[in-house]
Amino acid sequence: MRVIADDLQCTAVRVSGGDLDRLVVAGRAALDAGLELWFAPFPTELAPSDLARYLADAAERAAALERTCPGRVILVAGCEISLFNAGFLPGATFTERAANLSAGAWPDELRAAFGRLPSTLDAFFADALTAVRARFRGQVSYASGSWESIDWSPFDIVGVDGYRDAQNAATYRQQLRAYLATGKPVAVTEFGCCTYRGAADRGGLGWAIVDWEHTPPELDDHYERSEDEQVDYLRELLAIFVAEGVDSAFWFTFAGYELPHRADPLFDLDMASYGVVKLIEPDVAREGTGLGWQPKKVFAALAEAYGKEKTWNGS
């Protein structure tokens, strides 16, 4: 957190995860480092009723943190819940739901559920936010997926995981302007790209190049490592955010802890990482330190950019 605040020049951090106890520990560290905390519980595979209870519990945790640092905690009430949780779209697991959404031809069941999705989400949040607001008095947002149409009137801040890729590049500004048209502050709760040539065109799906069935895991094809890919993506999108009036933007992410860098390109899992640092294995890291990390080119580029835009940045 000190590195994020001091070296990366960030004023805010989105702390995300499913274990609320650990989220509180990380959130306290963020506040102690002087950062604005975007407390972002990220549950998976919960049914709507269980998800609502989870968010109410998260709101109590966020409220306890906010009481110690008034005005410095924002609650992000979930992330892309129609994809990561059950009961909104067909599919028993995240993998099934993601495959269904990306399929070329949708079955009638999926088409009907997707047509109902805006009203399904609005009904869920109408109930869930009542319990959240009863526990947490600070500002509330939500990290929406681009396919989720949300009634933003119950929220204080509009939030979107705003990855640009080859499919939406031509309409990316127009999509942002639709969120800005609400008249509320807009936060890009995630943006970023991975560390290989062509990753920018894959945006939020750039990570899907690892064959986890292989032992040890390896990349599923031959890729050219490119740290410049991340730098170009960062600079291009930040220029758009500044020009369009985006309030906050959070680069995803600090590190891909399960994706170490290796000299052999086939096993350089860091290519599939959005991190601004690369993880170094014990035989490369300093003796006795285990996994260490080293900054990538985007680390310095992000610090330079965020140092100039202190009023809206995040990581």
pLDDT in tens, the chain (315 residues): 999 999 999 999 999 999 999 999 999 999 999 999 999 999 999 999 999 999 999 999 999 999 999 999 999 999 999 999 999 999 999 999 999 988 888 989 999 999 999 999 999 999 999 999 999 999 999 999 999 999 999 999 999 999 999 999 999 999 999 999 999 999 999 999 999 999 999 999 999 999 999 999 999 999 999 999 999 999 999 999 999 999 999 999 999 999 999 999 999 999 999 999 999 976 554 444 456 899 999 999 999 999 876 555 566
Task: Please give the pLDDT value at position 307.
Answer: 86
Task: Please give the pLDDT value at position 49.
Answer: 97
Cα 62 from Cα 52, distance rounded (Å): 15
Task: Please give the pLDDT value at position 285.
Answer: 44
Task: Please give the pLDDT value at position 156.
Answer: 98
| Domain ranges, ordered by start, for the chain | 2-201+227-253
Q: What is the pTM of this model?
A: 0.94
Task: Please give the pLDDT value at position 105.
Answer: 84
Residue 109 tokens read as: 């069941």
Return the CATH number of the domain spanning residue range 2-201+227-253: 3.20.20.80
Task: Please give the pLDDT value at position 104.
Answer: 80
Task: Please give the pLDDT value at position 289.
Answer: 46
User: Can you tell me which residue has the tokens 């939030």?
Assistant: 159
Pick the closest to residue 233 from 268, 198, 207 (CA basis): 198
- Longest CA–CA span in the chain (Å) reads 58
Residue 179 tokens read as: 């969120």
Task: Please give the pLDDT value at position 286.
Answer: 47
Residue 264 tokens read as: 């052999």
Strands 277-280 and 260-261: parallel
Q: What count of other Cβ atoms lies within 10 Å of the Cβ of residue 212?
A: 11
Cα 239 from Cα 118, distance rounded (Å): 31
Cα 12 from Cα 188, distance rounded (Å): 12
Cα 286 from Cα 297, distance rounded (Å): 21
